[in-house]
């Protein structure tokens, strides 16, 4: 049973996600302990992704049913819909979709940033821990090398110099014994090489995956925003080509949203399972590399736990002190008798001083506070910022899916209204005497030098004098279109045919023209208004 941890408490959302049912693909309950190598546990996370895939299928099915009903149903009165299109529902639906999309993109940017900060803190802590372990390894290797090679060489030369003095030779043998004891204690420390490699590989892999994850979400967020703005532009411009393109992109983004939701949910649940009991997982992973007591000492760093390296460091310190005392005695008593031994004794003293410095550095690096701080920072980054960011990304995926579902429902209705409205405009323009496409121009008579008949009315710019002076006998014959066609047009105003309604042929005046405002006035007139207008015009 592990002692209670001080300094780390799993966040509440980690507990919530940890209690999400873990079900395998065979619909069997699975233990919620974090076991990424276990096949059943992997299936339980894959099952969560399959739930998101099922949501995507239901969404596409609902959209297909909606579009089928929209295509099959027809309005009872298309003329009323043409005159007064019911576009309020489409407008508010588009506004709702735009607002949801903007909120989703904002939440997505925040969640992506939070997740990136958490993973960055994880990799930074792993690199710091890797640097600490590398420092320990370098100190141990350097001290052992200096003891086994440098010290041994100096002692061998001194043994030749002090060959005539047995007491000095015994002192050298005792010093060699202390040196062997130091080497034995240092070699008894754990081999950090394998652990160091694992931490470095883990940090590099996490940084690599996070970079492409962050870049992918940035592209998805930008794509969502661009498609949303383009769809709103298409609705405003009533561009059917743009709406069709945005509908295709909307379906694509809908699929991406549900896929990202499944991936984020499965990742968040898996990381939360780790965050609830991280110590247990790490101890199980390192039991074949480092002893249980050492891992527990660094993970918990509790005052109730003793330093497993304290005995080795103490023996190291005592051995160095003993050797320094012996070397100092030889410098004091042997050098006056053997001056040639001073150089080797001074080198040995310098080596022992360097070893003592290494001892102090090694003691500081092996203390649990440094590695435990890196461990806690990594947990805070992953379990707080990382999982929180993934939850925000899940919310982003849901909001984006809802926004583009709403947009996919609004675009077909807008398309239908645009088509109906344009059909109504085409019908009006075919009956509109002001429409240039309904005007048929007859070829010019070469012997008369005037224009053919036009399907128009007299311009207000025609002078009254020219109308009064016009006589029926003076009206020139028409070449193709009979005059009765123009006389029938005057019936629109409710009057009888008069000479002022005769086409302007042979008068020497230009054809009548109509301004856009006059044409708009004509289109907006009802039948009664046109009749009154005809009576006033004849009067």
In sequence order, the β-bridge partners of residue 392 are none
The first and second tokens of residue 427, run together, are 């019908």
The confidence score (pLDDT) of residue 240 equals 77
The C-alpha atoms of residue 320 and residue 305 are separated, in whole angstroms, by 27
Give the number of other CB atoms < 10 A from CB of residue 160: 9
Question: In the Cβ-directed half-sphere of 242, how many Cα atoms lie within 13 Å?
Answer: 16
Q: What is the largest CA-CA distance in the chain?
A: 161
Residue 494 neighbours by CB under 8 Å, 6+ apart: 530, 531, 532, 534, 535
* CB 135, CB 362: distance < 8 Å: no
Please, is 527 exposed, middle or buried when counting C-beta atoms within 10 Å of its C-beta (0-12, 13-18, 19+)? exposed
The C-alpha atoms of residue 205 and residue 192 are separated, in whole angstroms, by 20
Phi, psi of 29 (to 5 degrees): -65, 140
The confidence score (pLDDT) of residue 386 equals 94
The first and second tokens of residue 217, run together, are 């979400």
pLDDT tens across the length of the chain (539 residues): 455 556 788 999 999 999 999 998 888 888 888 999 889 999 999 999 999 999 999 999 998 888 888 777 654 444 444 444 455 777 788 888 889 999 999 999 999 999 999 999 999 999 999 999 889 989 999 999 988 888 888 999 998 888 888 889 999 999 999 999 999 888 888 776 666 567 888 899 999 999 999 999 999 999 999 998 888 888 877 777 888 888 899 899 999 999 999 999 999 999 999 999 999 999 888 888 788 888 899 998 888 888 889 998 999 999 999 999 999 999 999 889 889 889 999 999 999 999 999 999 999 999 999 999 999 999 999 999 999 999 999 999 999 999 999 888 888 777 766 655 555 444 444 444 544 444 444 444 444 444 444 343 334 443 344 343 334 444 444 444 444 444 444 444 444 444 444 444 444 445 555 555 555 555 555 555 556 555 554 54
Alpha-carbon distances, residue 17 vs 25, 190, 267, 331 (angstroms): 19, 37, 10, 70
The confidence score (pLDDT) of residue 317 equals 92
Radius of gyration over alpha carbons of the chain, in Å?
A: 46
In sequence order, the β-bridge partners of residue 23 are 29
The pTM of this model reads: 0.71
Phi, psi of 334 (to 5 degrees): -90, -30
* CB 112, CB 214: distance < 8 Å: yes
Q: DSSP 3-state assignment of 90? A: helix
The C-alpha atoms of residue 461 and residue 458 are separated, in whole angstroms, by 8
The C-alpha atoms of residue 427 and residue 21 are separated, in whole angstroms, by 62
């Amino acid at each position: 049973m592990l002692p209670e941890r001080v300094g780390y408490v799993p966040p509440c959302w980690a507990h919530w996600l940890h209690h999400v049912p873990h079900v395998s693909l065979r619909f069997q309950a699975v233990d919620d302990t974090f076991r990424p190598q276990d096949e059943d546990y992997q299936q339980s996370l894959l099952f969560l992704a399959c739930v998101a895939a099922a949501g995507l299928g239901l969404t596409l099915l609902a959209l297909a049913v909606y579009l089928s009903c929209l295509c099959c149903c027809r309005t009872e009165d298309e003329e009323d819909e043409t005159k007064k299109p019911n576009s309020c529902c489409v407008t508010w639906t588009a506004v709702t979709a735009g607002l949801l999309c903007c909120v989703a993109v904002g939440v997505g940017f925040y969640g992506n940033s939070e997740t990136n900060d958490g993973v960055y803190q994880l990799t930074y802590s792993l690199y710091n821990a890797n640097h600490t372990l590398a420092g320990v390894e370098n100190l141990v290797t350097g001290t052992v090398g200096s003891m086994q090679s440098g010290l041994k060489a100096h002692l061998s030369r001194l043994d030749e110099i002090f060959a005539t003095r047995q007491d000095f030779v015994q002192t050298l043998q005792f010093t060699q014994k202390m040196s062997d004891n130091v080497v034995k204690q240092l070699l008894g420390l754990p081999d950090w090489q394998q652990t160091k490699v694992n931490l470095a590989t883990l940090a590099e892999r996490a940084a690599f995956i996070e970079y492409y994850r962050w870049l992918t979400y940035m592209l998805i967020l930008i794509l969502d925003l661009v498609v949303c703005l383009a769809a709103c532009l298409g609705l405003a411009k009533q561009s059917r080509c743009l709406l069709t393109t945005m509908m295709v992109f909307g379906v694509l983004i809908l699929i991406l949203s549900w896929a990202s939701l499944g991936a984020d949910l499965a990742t968040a649940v898996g990381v939360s399972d780790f965050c609830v009991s991280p110590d247990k997982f790490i101890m199980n992973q390192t039991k074949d590399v480092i002893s249980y007591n050492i891992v527990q000492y660094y993970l918990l760093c509790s005052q109730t736990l003793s330093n497993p390296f304290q005995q080795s460091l103490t023996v190291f310190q005592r051995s160095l002190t003993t050797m320094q005392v012996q070397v100092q005695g030889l410098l004091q008593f042997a050098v006056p008798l053997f001056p040639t031994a001073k150089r080797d004794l001074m080198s040995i003293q310098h080596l022992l001083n360097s070893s003592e410095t290494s001892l102090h550095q090694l003691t500081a690096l092996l203390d649990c506070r440094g590695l435990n701080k890196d461990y806690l920072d990594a947990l805070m980054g992953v379990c707080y910022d990382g999982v929180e960011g993934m939850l925000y990304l899940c919310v982003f995926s849901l909001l984006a899916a809802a926004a583009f579902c709403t947009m996919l429902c609004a675009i077909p209705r807008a398309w239908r209204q645009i088509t109906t409205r344009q059909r109504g405009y085409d019908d009006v323009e075919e009956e509109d005497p002001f429409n240039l496409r309904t005007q048929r121009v007859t070829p010019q008579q070469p012997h008369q030098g005037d224009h053919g008949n036009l399907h128009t009315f007299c311009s207000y710019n025609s002078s009254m004098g020219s109308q009064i002076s016009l006589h029926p006998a003076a009206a020139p014959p028409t070449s193709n279109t009979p005059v009765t066609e123009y006389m029938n047009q005057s019936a629109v105003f409710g009057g009888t045919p008069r000479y002022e309604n005769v086409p302007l042929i042979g008068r020497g005046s230009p054809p009548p023209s109509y301004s856009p405002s006059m044409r708009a006035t004509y289109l907006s007139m009802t039948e009664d208004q046109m009749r009154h207008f005809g009576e006033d015009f004849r009067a």
